[in-house]
Structure 1
């Protein structure tokens, strides 16, 4: 199929005029980008609506992201803050904490679909590129975890974009591709520092591949490198200023994983997340050996060249396999896997694409849509049942708005000024500040090192609302902090079956001359 014929629009009226489903299907096959758009729209609609309907509160990472996003800092002790900025922007644009984060996550996933399609189209043509994307909803990481928008999902399109731009830049050698590669690579580090792993694999491939290596004799890769360095310099400066705290946090998390997870836990999770891919390949017929030519052959396109298959395997599986091996010894990678499987579908179709006919593509389409609709529906049923029938306390069960409104009301009963700071047990303290009209700051772990926006002067001028759930023990310093102050405990309904959750609030008014010192180390990852 020529690029020209692929780009001719097929309007809905024209589709309807054809009058029957086979004609509609044939038209979509002739215009793969329209079927790709349909998949993206269904992904966004299902995975935005289902969580928004059943989740009373946002997932914990999302609440933390909202609270950090309003501070507009470049870097925290955990990660760069691009995902948190995006959450804050979504709130500023919509005024809601209920559904924008779910749509934001699906926009990232759908953008990844599109970028993988563009890379696969360059390698094996538009129809097989579509088949590659149709395999992606079968991967666990593009479904069930996506309502929790965090750094892994924010960096997902950057990984796909870097893979596509590097292939294009090495293939064509044009200045624009190298400049775009430098820009996107730099911005990817603002999503999560682990993007550096993919950049390392990309750099090794440039040195390995003859055609890519020859581009180093031109100025444009080096100009792209200069763009990259210019983009990441502010991040590097802030990393030094914070004493490399994100790296210390990663080390702390790895130690926690080694102490609390089985040695093969990470590898098991990754393999389980990919289990549905061979099943979908088998059901679609792509694992069946064809006796002759495929029935209803698709538009002809040459098989991918060997270097392209090597590229997909290296960039698509290399980082994931390395982290699997590292996890056996260091604990690294527990939360890294989500973004590392963007190219699994492209690699599978590069190897099996000659078996792809219209019937196989039709089955892939049906299976992809079933995965999106079925898994999102199962998510909704499971989450609602977990909260209301089984009574399992999860962050999405907590009534965020009610907690925020209660916290603000308790504050204003004592202090006429705005609620500026909330702290205590991070989970409920973040919920207390999330939807408060005063937009308070979170005093993360009551540690000034982890919340540099909280200063002694702010604490003296604004005071703080201390918040903690039933069963959480105040430290001796915190008990001294609220000595003589009234504590109000409120019960919040969160389940149709389980008893209410009790949350305690203590108003520490402005004017305190001293506060307890910082506790040692970051909080546990769990």
Structure 2
């Protein structure tokens, strides 16, 4: 067959393939929710599978959440416990400590995508709304840190949901929206107390916006407020009973940040986290003026009203800018940033959306998928090489299952009863109890104030397995507990190149009468 006749036969196939791709893309543009579903599915799969493949142990906040979640307390010395409950539920449903936390984190991120889409759709139509969401994967906080499911990621969908429900409540006015707003605001505080910052910005906006302010003449905002107060009352009572210890912890952390971080550190981290957004805006063409862009259908592409732009900037940028300014003087905000950039993409589209055409939207979709697949793959490569090539001992390198199995075996060699309490150096002590069949409690920092589920009676009746990572003698904080009891040191392989890690175990059997007191001072906030 000649080259000419061969090309004649191949051309219809290529044209058909191009036609199919064009048809698929047109379907996605006409039905943006399909593109949203594809984005969320890609986010969930990539950011669940990649960390689960390479992380042998859970990140620190996840490990802490699993161990605290099994206690089912309302509040700890750090935060409210909704994220820890969710982690415990994920374990009860799956029986695994290896991958459910990653899926849980991506479900919260994807829920945030959906809620931002709903808000932006109400303001500027589905086409601009999907463009706003397509910008979000380029923001650092929706990618690299997400495998560590913690209070920031647990509250992320609440921030997006509050922003959407507040807008709908003010514009619609029906009672259902106000009741839902009160409920979500209340539950959001169970994720993290910093949700109160967004609530304060929302309250100021209600007083500023004429339409929102007019709703205060109806009973529904006040009924929503009643729902909010009913939901948060148990949390407020628990905070009072703990002598406001979470607020003390936050203040101690701020002092630590001021002492150990450069004054512009927090602002630099936030700007670096947003740099990917600027790159995507440039590559997509949204930063470039065009005389006659290929416009999308007008009903799908309305311009937001000025009040909507003000709302997006106030709720979407206001908290982040305030914390940046406060960080210069108080040290606050180092662990707050992830939640505060939900609406940055919506703000960008509200200001630049007139430049969005078919070509720009296509580029945004491609770049969003590249960000998700590329960054998650880079995460897996960096984590694996960090443990196995560079030999950097990080929490995700620790052999969690082996440490738990060994700890339980050492305990049962000397004590017939269940392993009920683990303590010592928190990181490795929590690993010792994580996968243990006996489901022990962790004695956080060996301090009863920080672990109220541990009592002197439990210590006397159940004993404790003391665990630490460094060599002999035990750290000063542990010596009063270890006494003259025998120490068993076990080596664990954790890297292809580095030396094994040595973990020390001391069995404190039940029946001990001289229980040491609490250590002085708060724990290290780092």
TM-score bin (small chain) = over 0.9
Task: Report the equivalent of 1:500.
Answer: 500
Partner SS, residue 275 of structure 1: helix
CA contact (8 A) 1:478 1:516 kept: no
1:49 Cα deviation (Å)? Answer: 0.1
How far apart in 2 are the matches of 1:480 and 1:213?
61
Task: Report the equivalent of 1:200.
Answer: 200
Task: Report the equivalent of 1:297.
Answer: 296
Is 1:469 the counterpart of 2:469 in the alignment?
A: yes
1:17 Cα deviation (Å)? Answer: 12
Change (3 A) 1:296 1:211: closer
TM-score normalised by the chain length of structure 2: 0.95
1:514 Cα deviation (Å)? Answer: 2.0
CA contact (8 A) 2:471 2:504 kept: no
Task: Report the equivalent of 1:330.
Answer: 330
Change (3 A) 1:412 1:23: same
1:475 Cα deviation (Å)? Answer: 5.0
How far apart in 2 are the matches of 1:377 and 1:36?
21
What whole-Å deviation, never above 9, does each CA across 1:413-441 have from its counterpart, x for those lacking one?
00000000000000000000000000000
Task: Report the equivalent of 1:85.
Answer: 85
CA contact (8 A) 2:178 2:224 kept: yes
Partner SS, residue 442 of structure 2: strand
Partner SS, residue 489 of structure 2: strand
Partner SS, residue 341 of structure 2: coil
1:296 Cα deviation (Å)? Answer: 5.0
How far apart in 2 are the matches of 1:252 and 1:367?
41
1:524 Cα deviation (Å)? Answer: 1.1
1:482 Cα deviation (Å)? Answer: 2.3
Task: Report the equivalent of 2:436.
Answer: 436
CA contact (8 A) 2:477 2:519 kept: no
Task: Report the equivalent of 1:125.
Answer: 125
Change (3 A) 1:477 1:269: closer
Is 1:350 the counterpart of 2:357 in the alignment?
A: no
CA contact (8 A) 1:445 1:523 kept: yes
How far apart in 2 are the matches of 1:370 and 1:472?
49
Task: Report the equivalent of 2:269.
Answer: 269
Change (3 A) 1:380 1:476: closer
Partner SS, residue 503 of structure 1: strand
Task: Report the equivalent of 2:152.
Answer: 152
Aligned-residue Cα RMSD (Å) equals 1.3
How far apart in 2 are the matches of 1:184 and 1:148?
23
1:295 Cα deviation (Å)? Answer: 1.6
How far apart in 2 are the matches of 1:261 and 1:17?
55
CA contact (8 A) 1:296 1:359 kept: no
Task: Report the equivalent of 1:55.
Answer: 55
Runs (5+) with no aligned partner, structure 2: 1-15
Partner SS, residue 368 of structure 2: helix
Change (3 A) 1:477 1:339: closer
Partner SS, residue 274 of structure 1: helix
CA contact (8 A) 1:460 1:511 kept: yes
CA contact (8 A) 2:429 2:442 kept: yes
Change (3 A) 1:425 1:476: closer
1:18 Cα deviation (Å)? Answer: 11
Task: Report the equivalent of 1:4.
Answer: none
Task: Report the equivalent of 1:488.
Answer: 488
* Structure 2 counterparts to residues 154-303 of structure 1, below 5 A: 154-292=154-292, 294-295=293-294, 297-300=296-299, 301-303=301-303
* Structure 2 counterparts to residues 414-429 of structure 1, below 5 A: 414-429=414-429
CA contact (8 A) 2:47 2:106 kept: yes
1:19 Cα deviation (Å)? Answer: 6.0
1:291 Cα deviation (Å)? Answer: 1.0
Change (3 A) 1:19 1:282: closer
Task: Report the equivalent of 1:32.
Answer: 32
1:278 Cα deviation (Å)? Answer: 1.2
Is 1:43 the counterpart of 2:46 in the alignment?
A: no
TM-score normalised by the chain length of structure 1: 0.95
CA contact (8 A) 1:298 1:358 kept: no
What whole-Å deviation, never above 9, does each CA across 1:91-119 have from its counterpart, x for those lacking one?
00000000000000000000000000000
Partner SS, residue 76 of structure 2: coil
What whole-Å deviation, never above 9, does each CA across 1:241-282 have from its counterpart, x for those lacking one?
000000000000000000110010000000000001111011
Partner SS, residue 288 of structure 2: coil
Partner SS, residue 125 of structure 1: helix
How far apart in 2 are the matches of 1:438 and 1:334?
36
